[in-house]
A = this chain, B = another copy of it.
């Protein structure tokens, strides 16, 4: 079994199922039918599509597997809501998801409710380990889409000259007041050595290894890691402004060749959503609407190309994913904060305990670009069947990101998690941590 889950009793699975599904619905609650229909670019999916696709996943891979004779809810939904499983037949091209006015939001909510009812009934009866494993995958899959619902609607709303906000910011008391441009930065050194990263194979119920992981995090494997030094915290907006003001976007010497070409073609002059004002200051568009740049908060919505250029300008480089994972073992997994606080922007560091010494800000602020291309770990085996397409086939032209953002569900974060996006992607909540070789 490839998915590794502590769940052994249906009751806890049932309650987790309800919780995850409910969290998704809560994310769509502030949005109307029009908001849920728009697709602002091929990378983005309409909220409606996220709501339906995650449901289709449970219907196809859990109910369909557990009850092969069962009638499909709507035979045409596969064509509409299959994301990329070639093994499951034809599907609507990704860039055309915004052309589908039907099913309506209301019809999709009804679809969710019908499948939830069927799932609840099945879970009440109990499921075997195989079904439980796929269900656990489905829950983690839905959590991924929870984050995408937020990144995607931010992009949709940003296209609108009215700059509508998704949700008001929480009361000031829960937000940060003490903002420092350049919170204390220390460099954390790690000696060279033969290390292990990745998630243990042979996990799951009965193995004593309870944690879920995607197939791409396995197997845990040894690798030799030279000595390195890594920044204790993320790059701030204030620091990034220094880069901009020092001509960072017009000096090719800092940029990868492909990155420079994209910058030139797209006319980038700052992170996505930043808007330079006539007085030289910047605003940014967030799920709370248009805000002033918070110089002490982590910079976000930069591509790997920009992260790379910033690092080169700063005389450093991006960490490898192995360096990141090793470092993360010295850091507790802070909760993603949006669930608790209602705050949907990365917080300035001062929000945290000022006494923190070692590496921090590793979970729940921004995804951190690494310098590692996304590739299979040695010994990697994809899942069997159509689910084998879940991760493996994307292992080209993508870079690994680590950590997790303020949009990520708290229970979804772990040290071995491998997120991945093309190096030019900017609409995710992505930021920068610096690293350096450690001369030995």
A253 touches B194 (CB 8 A): no
Q: 8 tightest CB-CB pairs across the interface, nearest first?
A: A373-B373, A86-B252, A33-B33, A34-B101, A99-B159, A35-B101, A224-B224, A257-B393
In this complex, the member of A80, A84, A379, A396 whose beta carbon has the largest number of chain B beta carbons within 10 angstroms is A396
A437 to B308, CA, bound (A): 33
Least CB separation from A252: chain B residue: B86
Interface range on chain A: under 10, 10 to 19, 20 to 34, or 35 or more?
Answer: 35 or more
Q: Which residues of B contact A34 (CB under 8 A)?
A: 33-34, 36-37, 48, 101-102, 104-105
A101 touches B38 (CB 8 A): yes
- Other-chain residue from B86, B308, B375 in contact with A253 (beta carbon distance below 8 A): B86
Least CB separation from A440: chain B residue: B379
Chain A positions 381-409 with a Cβ under 8 Å from a chain B Cβ: 389, 393-397
Q: Which residues of B contact A103 (CB under 8 A)?
A: 162
A222 located at the interface, meaning its Cβ lies under 8 Å from any Cβ of chain B in the complex: yes
Q: Which residues of B contact A48 (CB under 8 A)?
A: 34
A290 located at the interface, meaning its Cβ lies under 8 Å from any Cβ of chain B in the complex: no
- Other-chain residue from B33, B100, B159, B389 in contact with A159 (beta carbon distance below 8 A): B100
Q: Which residues of B contact A157 (CB under 8 A)?
A: 101-102
A260 touches B86 (CB 8 A): yes
Q: Which residues of B contact A389 (CB under 8 A)?
A: 253
A-B contact pairs, 10 of them (CB 8 A): A32-B33, A37-B37, A38-B100, A79-B161, A99-B156, A100-B160, A102-B162, A226-B378, A226-B379, A373-B396
- Other-chain residue from B102, B104, B160, B393 in contact with A256 (beta carbon distance below 8 A): B393
Least CB separation from A87: chain B residue: B253
Chain B nearest CB from A102 CB (Å) reads 5
B394 touches A257 (CB 8 A): yes
A209 located at the interface, meaning its Cβ lies under 8 Å from any Cβ of chain B in the complex: no
Indicate whether A224 sits within 8 Å of B194 (C-beta atoms), given known contacts A161-B76, A257-B393, A378-B437: yes
Number of copies: 4
A376 to B370, CA, bound (A): 13
B102 touches A160 (CB 8 A): yes
A179 located at the interface, meaning its Cβ lies under 8 Å from any Cβ of chain B in the complex: no
In this complex, the member of A104, A162, A164, A255 whose beta carbon has the largest number of chain B beta carbons within 10 angstroms is A162
Chain B nearest CB from A78 CB (Å) reads 10
Q: Which residues of B contact A258 (CB under 8 A)?
A: 394, 396-397
Chain B nearest CB from A216 CB (Å) reads 13
B79 touches A257 (CB 8 A): no
Q: Which residues of B contact A101 (CB under 8 A)?
A: 32, 34-35, 37-38, 156-157, 160, 164
A160 touches B260 (CB 8 A): no
A40 touches B99 (CB 8 A): yes
A96 located at the interface, meaning its Cβ lies under 8 Å from any Cβ of chain B in the complex: yes
Given A32-B104, A76-B162, A373-B396, 7 more contacts at CB 8 Å? A99-B160, A100-B160, A101-B160, A102-B157, A256-B393, A257-B394, A371-B375
Q: Which residues of B contact A194 (CB under 8 A)?
A: 194, 224
A80 to B223, CA, bound (A): 46
A431 located at the interface, meaning its Cβ lies under 8 Å from any Cβ of chain B in the complex: no
A99 to B162, CA, bound (A): 12
Least CB separation from A257: chain B residue: B393
A395 to B305, CA, bound (A): 11
A423 located at the interface, meaning its Cβ lies under 8 Å from any Cβ of chain B in the complex: yes
Q: Which residues of B contact A393 (CB under 8 A)?
A: 255-257, 260
